[in-house]
Chains A and B, each alone.
Chain A
Amino acid sequence: DTEVTQTPKHLVMGMTNKKSLKCEQHMGHRAMYWYKQKAKKPPELMFVYSYEKLSINESVPSRFSPECPNSSLLNLHLHALQPEDSALYLCASSQVTTGTGTEAFFGQGTRLTVV
């Protein structure tokens, strides 16, 4: 199983809502990532978890809150988002962090629209 599964595929939420994005992998990977991608732009790294601990936060606003409940699961909790947060949110995983020379596997993303 070389899949990273993201749910939901699409999400529309109001600016006062609280929602969560979910990501799951069963490859035994110990590094997991959240990326944000706007249209026609490259993915931007948001968070990196290594061995279930947050190791990188790329100055992401606190309205985005990541959580890694176990080595297979990664969540992104959303609260009080702005319309400019509308984007494709991508989850990825790798055996260990990519600096050691491992490839990352990506999910198909959640298309988020904030209204």
Chain B
Amino acid sequence: SQQGEEDPQALSIQEGENATMNCSYKTSINNLQWYRQNSGRGLVHLILIRSNEREKHSGRLRVTLDTSKKSSSLLITASRAADTASYFCAPVANNLFFGTGTRLTVIP
């Protein structure tokens, strides 16, 4: 299956702290994408990293990809209460299959 597996399943931190989420997958991929979902709403694309890239930054987000270990991580620095959401990785071979997700709670 292309689906990723994320850990932790849930993460609770104080505002201002960093949050790290990990994603592991099993098949070869073309790219890996991260999405955020606020409760009961649509998903929002955060960042895409291609299989030949190792690290990518976007604002307070930092994504790494290790294709030899078939794993990726998403780091959110200086978290805010508004970052409270579910985060999904999607290791993409041909289509977008989502990982199990991490529910992040940022406490003000």
Q: Which residues of A contact B (CB under 8 A)?
A: 4, 33, 41-45, 48, 56, 88, 90, 92, 94, 97-101, 103-109, 111
Contacts and interface: CB of A to CB of B under 8 A. Distances in A.
B17 to A, nearest CB: 24
Contacts of A101: 30-31, 48, 50, 92
Given A42-B100, A42-B101, A103-B33, A97 B40 contact: no
B95 A98 contact: yes
Contacts of B96: 33, 45, 92, 94, 98, 104
Interface of B: 3, 30-31, 33, 35, 40-45, 48, 50, 88, 90, 92-101
Nearest to B6: A42
B56 to A, nearest CB: 12
A90 B88 CA distance: 15
B30 A100 contact: yes
B43 A99 contact: no
Nearest to B31: A101
A99 B94 contact: yes
Given A103-B48, A104-B45, A48 B95 contact: yes
Contacts of A100: 30
Given A42-B99, A42-B100, A45-B97, A99 B42 contact: no
A44 B95 CA distance: 11
